[in-house]
């Protein structure tokens, strides 16, 4: 059985077992959201007994199927192209990567790849559509699932085997370049001190204990890890506040030139990836992070 033949299977419960048989980690979805915490399946695949229970083996109504990307599924990577402009831009830049198993979504396409090396998740939000290379800690909705908005099934658009590649570094670099063009810009660095002038103090900022901060970037990395932990531990009802607050605080550090927006967005999205709140889907979280980050930068600039 191949990945293509499983995707062409019309019954979710049979397709779910087919994915498992191919070494792919799966989870049930209500629409596009997991009904409960799913972190363990990022590292360990479900058993066939669990899958049969999830899909109510004899039931007529079945959940959608989520395929978890990354190492747990044999280094499976899915490129999510959201919008026809995104599809056209990618096809124009990488025609050699288009000859792979592809699934039509409501607004774009999912392209499936296997790589020899683990691939880092990389995303870009832009006016020409959204691009996301989905890997560790992320999932995609897979055929024969039904899209919750359009009510149409996810269907195979290119009935080809998935490409097996050494890596996707060239594609990652292309995405990173696009992200740098669309990311919120941090303030320009201050002009260099003229030769012979007295050097500016290195320790104009202090930490919570009042100690001078000697390495701003190291401090920001530690702060991002701390904020990420708070976001991941936040409870239903307070998650939006936790995410916005974390982005705001990181925006304040970014105003000092200590951290960059792509790093903040990537880490905070990862920290909130296990949330199952229906009112906080990934697009909403991305917007929340960007808004909080920009507010934090603006507040820091006002104080400067």
208 and 135, same domain (yes or no): no
Which structural domain range is residue 253 located in? 204-303
pTM equals 0.63
pLDDT confidence tier of residue 237, bands split at 50, 70 and 90: confident
Residue 267 inside a domain? The answer is yes
141 and 210, same domain (yes or no): no
Are 163 and 100 a contacting pair, CB within 8 Å? yes
**Number of domains forming the structure of the chain:** 2
170 and 211, same domain (yes or no): no
Average pLDDT over residues 95-124: 92
87 and 212, same domain (yes or no): no
Torsions phi, psi for 237 (to 5 deg): 105, -25
pLDDT of amino acid 273: 82
70 and 112, same domain (yes or no): yes
Cis omega (within 30 of 0) for bond into 144: yes
pLDDT tens digits for range 128-142: 678 999 998 899 999
pLDDT of amino acid 68: 96
Reading the block at residue 142, the tokens are: 């897979």
Task: Quote the mean pLDDT of the chain.
Answer: 84
Average pLDDT over residues 180-206: 51
Residue 38, helix vs strand vs coil: coil
Q: Looking at per-residue confidence, does 200 or 162 come out higher?
A: 162
Residue 205 has pLDDT above 70, yes or no: no
Are 95 and 144 a contacting pair, CB within 8 Å? no
Q: What percent of the chain has pLDDT over 90?
A: 39
- Contacts (Cβ under 8 Å, ≥6 apart) of 48: 17, 20
Residue 201 has pLDDT above 80, yes or no: no
Residue 193 inside a domain? The answer is no
pLDDT tens digits for range 45-84: 999 999 988 887 545 567 999 999 999 999 999 999 998 8
pLDDT of amino acid 185: 52
pLDDT confidence tier of residue 19, bands split at 50, 70 and 90: very high
112 and 245, same domain (yes or no): no
pLDDT confidence tier of residue 5, bands split at 50, 70 and 90: very high
Residue 191 inside a domain? The answer is no
Average pLDDT over residues 32-44: 88
pLDDT of amino acid 191: 47
pLDDT of amino acid 198: 43
């Amino acid at each position: 059985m191949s990945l293509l033949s499983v995707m062409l299977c019309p019954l979710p419960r049979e397709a779910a077992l087919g994915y498992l048989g191919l070494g792919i980690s799966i989870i049930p979805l209500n629409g596009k959201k997991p009904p409960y915490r799913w972190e363990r399946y990022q590292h360990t695949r479900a058993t066939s007994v669990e899958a049969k229970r999830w899909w109510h083996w004899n039931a007529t109504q079945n959940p959608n199927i989520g395929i978890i990307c990354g190492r747990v599924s044999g280094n499976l990577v899915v490129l999510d192209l959201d919008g026809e402009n995104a599809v056209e831009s990618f096809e124009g830049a990488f025609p050699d990567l288009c000859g792979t198993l592809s699934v039509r979504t409501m607004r774009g396409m999912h392209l499936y790849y296997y790589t020899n090396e683990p691939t880092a998740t990389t995303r870009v939000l832009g006016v020409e559509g959204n691009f996301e290379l989905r890997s560790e800690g992320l999932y995609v909705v897979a055929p024969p699932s039904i899209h919750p908005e359009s009510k149409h099934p996810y269907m195979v658009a290119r009935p080809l085997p998935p490409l097996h590649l050494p890596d996707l570094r060239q594609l990652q670099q292309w995405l990173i370049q696009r992200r740098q063009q669309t990311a919120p810009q941090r303030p320009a660095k201050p002009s260099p001190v003229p030769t012979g002038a007295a050097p500016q103090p290195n320790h104009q900022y202090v930490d919570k204990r009042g100690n001078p901060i000697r390495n701003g970037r190291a401090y920001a990395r530690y702060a991002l890890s701390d904020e990420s932990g708070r976001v991941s531990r936040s409870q239903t009802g307070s998650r939006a506040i936790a995410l916005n607050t974390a982005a705001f605080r990181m925006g304040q550090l970014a105003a000092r030139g200590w951290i960059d927006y792509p790093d903040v967005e990537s880490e905070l999205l990862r920290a909130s990836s296990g949330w199952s709140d229906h009112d906080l889907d990934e697009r909403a979280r991305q917007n929340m992070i960007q808004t909080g980050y920009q507010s934090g930068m603006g507040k820091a600039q006002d104080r400067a």
